[in-house]
Structure 1
Amino acid sequence: MQPGERFNIALSSDQKVTTPGNFGTFDDINNVSYVRNELAVKEGWKKDVSKVTTYEVTKPINVFEGPVGPQIDGGKYLSGGGSQIQLLLKREDNKMLYLNPVNTKEIK
């Protein structure tokens, strides 16, 4: 991704906007149901989802990009199908060297 491009990341209630994970989407996220179903985020991966932050890329980042695949979460089928990007950074990397949070909204 190049500087100026934007994408969204769903965050848990205790997750700081300065410590996002490595997966995001170009999709508009308006509710938790979208995160669970179209983005196929298992509860084991993110126990609660309460907000979405839009990030702007400030320094080039290599990413994988494609559709979200389906998942099974405790016997429940999560269809996937949304857009997905995976930042090719290490989990411990300071992502704020590459990203600027520009907006955060709460979702239910």
Structure 2
Amino acid sequence: METYLRYLIYQACRKYRGLIKTIEVQARIATPEGDRFPDLLINGWLIVEFDGVSKYGETVADFRRAKRKEEHRQLLLLKQGFRIVRCTHQDVGPAVIEVIVAMLAERRQLT
């Protein structure tokens, strides 16, 4: 599904020329607590994270631990000025692309 999401974003590149300039897969982002590698980094500031089913483990304790870790990681990135879009396999489709395009368009208007 992550590959399909990437495909949809690349298709959006064709449709919205100039809006999506760069897409990096597993880009290295330095934080005060070490490097982070988000799934996708668009235009150097918009992070797209694909959350797979197995990410959160099998038990409630695993879920809570993974969720806390994820929230902490996200906060580190937000503090550095990144914006983040999270999606699951159920979200992958035109709707998530619309969110990404809207965020990119809004940023372009502000700059």
Q: TM-score, normalised by structure 2?
A: 0.26
**Which structure shows the higher strand fraction?**
1
Query: Over alpha carbons, which structure has the higher Rg?
Result: 2
**Which structure shows the higher helix fraction?**
2
Q: TM-score, normalised by structure 1?
A: 0.26
Query: Whose relative contact order is higher, 1 or 2, with alpha carbons under 8 Å and at least 6 apart?
Result: 1
